[in-house]
Chains A and B, each alone.
Chain A
């Protein structure tokens, strides 16, 4: 974990979940189970979560509460997952989404 994690705070105590491993574009990272994927990525220094479909501009999160859809990524093969609210689980495969994402790719 990097120094982005707050360890001492005058008011808050952070009860972290179990430490889990996951991958981001093939890179092994760790985070805490149950925290949003975006929080784990941010703590690992990853701020660019995707790219805009047309101009390919880098995208990060903006609202962090699942409203704005700035943070869409592909998680375990499923596109358009709002990683600011999706909870981190052991072994998750998180990848940068290119384009608008294809649902039912095997249909």
Chain B
């Protein structure tokens, strides 16, 4: 069976940074991704990132994807397997990879799992009609392939994704009828909210979708107000004539492989759902299996990159690799990560991580 030192599953921001960090330590890396290009969801992020210089603040996601990929492409230590899907984790530590309708196996000494997340659904009548699209799907269609998702869109969710995608829709020449948000306040950064408000898009907080209308595809949507107890208030209905309803109602970790690997999981709503218990090095309860990025807890691409760096460094060192700047680099990544999570918008994530680490200590995953 083919072997490698470190298999990184997923070539998004976390996976690419894990591969780069492990390679920098001298480890042999195989990075596997189901997509046809490296970068994961960065390839459709046209907005400029925040955070610190180390995480490419001021650069657009699409450019970050290229910068990261260039660091490992054509590197003799790194094998990048694209259009390759990891379909299983086996008892002996091997993973199955499907490529071109053929199954191959790879036995790595360490695995960094960075599979990301999938989009959440929302329950309302006709939520399955064509035209109800995930925010990521809208971004892929319009920012990667240059096709408008519709003529007029109702955006559901005023977190960063909902706000950013609304702005990107406007840039692509699509009308955004309104943004609805169930919470009484906007969840994303004010700067993103103000940009779309200046363009005339109303943000309706304490509102949700009552129903979507249409026979074969979306023809309209009705929203209504929510009271303090999140119960809808009859009589507050507003109708929007839209052909697309975009759901930006959160993400949940794509953790199938971790379940299969028998990693201890915990349900932490603040981190998006079931996440793996793991230590400070991002190693799970299954020795030699690491996690990074949205899979380890839903955050942002900037934090995913730092988690990937930490997991990649730690995994490589556990195999005996070392470099003079190891301690410095690990400490820098940890400090940058703490800074990213430091603000008021990081409160929820901090709460979730506190709980995750406490649970980890209780069962001995964290020392």
Q: Which residues of A contact B (CB under 8 A)?
A: 3-6, 9-12, 14, 16, 35-36, 38-39, 42-43, 47-49, 52, 57-68, 84-85, 87
Residue B128, interface by CB 8 Å: yes
Judged by DSSP, the binding face of A is loop
Question: 25 A-B residue contacts at CB 8 Å?
Answer: A3-B148, A4-B148, A5-B146, A5-B148, A6-B172, A6-B173, A9-B172, A11-B171, A36-B145, A38-B141, A42-B149, A47-B217, A49-B130, A52-B128, A57-B129, A58-B129, A58-B130, A59-B128, A60-B132, A61-B133, A62-B134, A65-B35, A67-B118, A68-B118, A85-B36
Question: How far apart are the CA atoms of A84 and B35 in the complex, in Å?
Answer: 11
- Chain B residues contacting A12 (CB-CB under 8 Å) are 46, 62, 143, 146
Contacting pair A66 B129 (CB below 8 A): no
**A64 and B133: CB pair below 8 A?**
yes
- Residue B60 is within 8 A (CB to CB) of chain A in the complex: yes
B: number of interface residues (CB 8 Å): 34
Q: Please, how many angstroms separate the alpha-carbon atoms of A52 and B131 in the complex?
A: 15
Which chain A residues lie closer than 8 Å to B141 at the CB level?
Answer: 38-39, 42, 64
User: Are the C-beta atoms of B216 and A58 separated by less than 8 Å?
Assistant: yes
List chain A residues, Cβ under 8 A from B173.
6
Q: CA separation between A36 and B217, bound complex, in Å?
A: 20
Q: Tell me if B171 and A62 are in contact (CB < 8 A).
A: no
Beta-carbon nearest neighbor of B215 in chain A: A58
Q: Within the assembled complex, what's the spacing in Å between the Cα atoms of A12 and B90?
A: 42
Contact indicator B171/A67 (Cβ below 8 Å):
no
Complex: A12 Cα to B147 Cα, angstroms = 12
Give Cα A104–Cα B138 distance, bound, in whole angstroms: 34
Instruction: Among B36, B130, B143, B171, point to the contact of A59 (Cβ < 8 A).
Output: B130
Chain B residues near A43: list those with CB within 8 A.
Answer: 147
Tell me which residues across on chain A come within 8 A of B171, comparing CB atoms: 9-11
Contact A16 B130 (CB under 8 A): no
* A47-B131 contact, Cβ under 8 Å, with A6-B142, A9-B171, A14-B145: yes
Contact of B133 among A14, A58, A60, A67 (CB under 8 A): A60
Chain A residues with CB under 8 Å of B217's CB are 47-48, 58, 60
Knowing A11-B46, A64-B141 touch, does A6 contact B133 (C-beta < 8 A)?
no
Most chain B beta-carbon contacts within 10 A, residue among A6, A43, A58, A61: A6
Q: Report how far A97 CA is from B300 CA in the complex, Å.
A: 37
B130 engages A65 (CB within 8 Å): no
Interface assignment of B140: CB less than 8 Å from any CB of chain A = yes
A68, chain B: closest CB distance, angstroms: 7
B137 within 8 A of A: yes
Given A6-B148, A11-B46, A58-B130, A65 and B140 contact (CB-CB distance below 8 Å):
yes
Cβ A61 vs Cβ B137 within 8 A: yes
CB A66 to nearest CB in B, in angstroms, measures 6
* Residues of chain A lying within 8 A (CB to CB) of residue B119: 62-63
Give bound CA distance, A61 to B216, whole Å: 13
CB distance from A56 to the nearest CB of B (A): 12
How far in angstroms is the closest Cβ of chain B from A33? 12
Bound complex: CA A27 to CA B60 (Å): 39
Asked if A6 contacts B129 (CB within 8 A), the reply is no
Closest Cβ–Cβ distance, residue A8 to chain B (whole Å): 8
Q: Cβ of B84: which chain A residues have Cβ within 8 Å of it?
A: none
The 9 closest A-B pairs by CB, nearest first: A60-B130, A64-B137, A14-B146, A39-B145, A47-B130, A64-B140, A6-B146, A43-B147, A11-B46
Distance A38 CA – B133 CA, assembled complex (angstroms): 13
Shortest Cβ gap from A30 to chain B (Å): 13
- Distance in angstroms from A49 CB to nearest chain B CB is 7
A63–B136 touching, CB < 8 Å: yes
Cα distance A87–B144 in the bound complex, in angstroms? 13
Give the chain B neighbours of A16 by CB distance below 8 A: 146
Chain A CB within 8 A of B34 CB: yes
Residues on the A chain within 8 Å of B136, using CB = 63-65
Q: Which chain B residue lies CB-closest to A52? A: B128
Most chain B CB within 10 A, of A9, A61, A65, is at A65
Q: Could you mark each residue 16-45 of chain B with 1 if its beta carbon is under 8 Å from any beta carbon of chain A, else 0?
A: 000000000000000000111000010000
